[in-house]
Amino acid sequence: MPAPANWPQTLVGVGVLVTGLALAYGAIGISSEAGYGGVGPNFLPWLVSVALAACGAWILWEARTGGFREMEDSSGDAAPYWTGFIWVSAGLLLNAGLITTIGFVLSCALCYLLAVQGLRRAGGQAVANSPRAWVIDAVTGLIISAPVYWTFTKFLAINLPGLTATGWI
């Protein structure tokens, strides 16, 4: 006998299923002419929409037949850690606001720095306030964002905002 339906899980399943169906509806209008690799530009939208619809149906089925039975209890605090949320949000907002001013590399490195600081504080790490951690996080952000920038601008010919006209920073 099925257990009572879990409505929050049911709503998540419906949301994922509807998202997959909406993406499929949007993919109808994309050309299917095969390109260089033998697939058309509508291949990926159709693939993602089918995967989302399948996942949504599976979540919906699980929710309606007793919920997620194997789900572990949450390991986090019952209350949200707002300070960490503010750090991560500040990183994202500053990235969006400064990307055209200071360039992709520096704005993404700043976003990484602030997000990691928020996550460190949320995890209760004492190292979050040390100058060494700030330097390591800033350098790591640069090490991650610079190759991404170069890959997009030099190899894929996708223009991203840079700090200089040379295209390297």
pLDDT in tens, 30-59: 877 766 666 677 788 899 999 999 999 999
| C-alpha span between 164 and 103 (Å, rounded) | 8
Average pLDDT, the chain: 85
Q: What's the Cα-to-Cα distance from 103 to each of 11, 71, 80, 132, rounded to whole Å?
A: 40, 43, 33, 25
pLDDT confidence bin for 2, thresholds 50/70/90: very low
**Domain presence at residue 126:** yes
46 and 92 share a domain?
Answer: no
pLDDT surpasses 50 at 1: no
The answer to whether position 162 is within a domain reads no
Q: Helices 104-122 and 131-150: crossing angle, nearest 10°?
A: 140
Q: What is the predicted pLDDT for the residue at 32? A: 75
Per-residue pLDDT tens over the stretch 125-146: 877 778 899 999 999 999 999 9
Check whether 167 has a pLDDT greater than 60: no
- The count of structural domains within the chain is 2
Tell whether 151 and 101 lie within a shared domain.
yes
- Asked if the structure places residue 160 within a domain, the reply is no
The answer on 87 and 149 residing in a single domain is yes
Rounded to whole angstroms, what are the CA distances from 60 to 105, 122, 153?
Answer: 41, 32, 42
Q: What is the pLDDT of residue 168?
A: 58
Calculate mean pLDDT across residues 64-71: 77
Same domain (yes/no): 126, 89: yes
Q: The tokens of 96 are what?
A: 């969006």
Percentage above 70 pLDDT, the chain: 86
Please check whether residue 74 lies inside any domain of the structure: no
- The pLDDT of 69-92, averaged and rounded, is 82
Domain that holds residue 142: 82-155
Do 56 and 94 fall into the same domain? no
pLDDT surpasses 80 at 106: yes
Of 111, 66, 104, give the one whose Cα is nearest residue 88: 111
Res 161 pLDDT > 70: yes
Task: Report pLDDT for 29.
Answer: 87
Higher-scoring residue by pLDDT: 101, 71: 101
Residues 6+ apart with CB under 8 A from 13: 56, 57, 58, 59, 60, 61, 62, 63
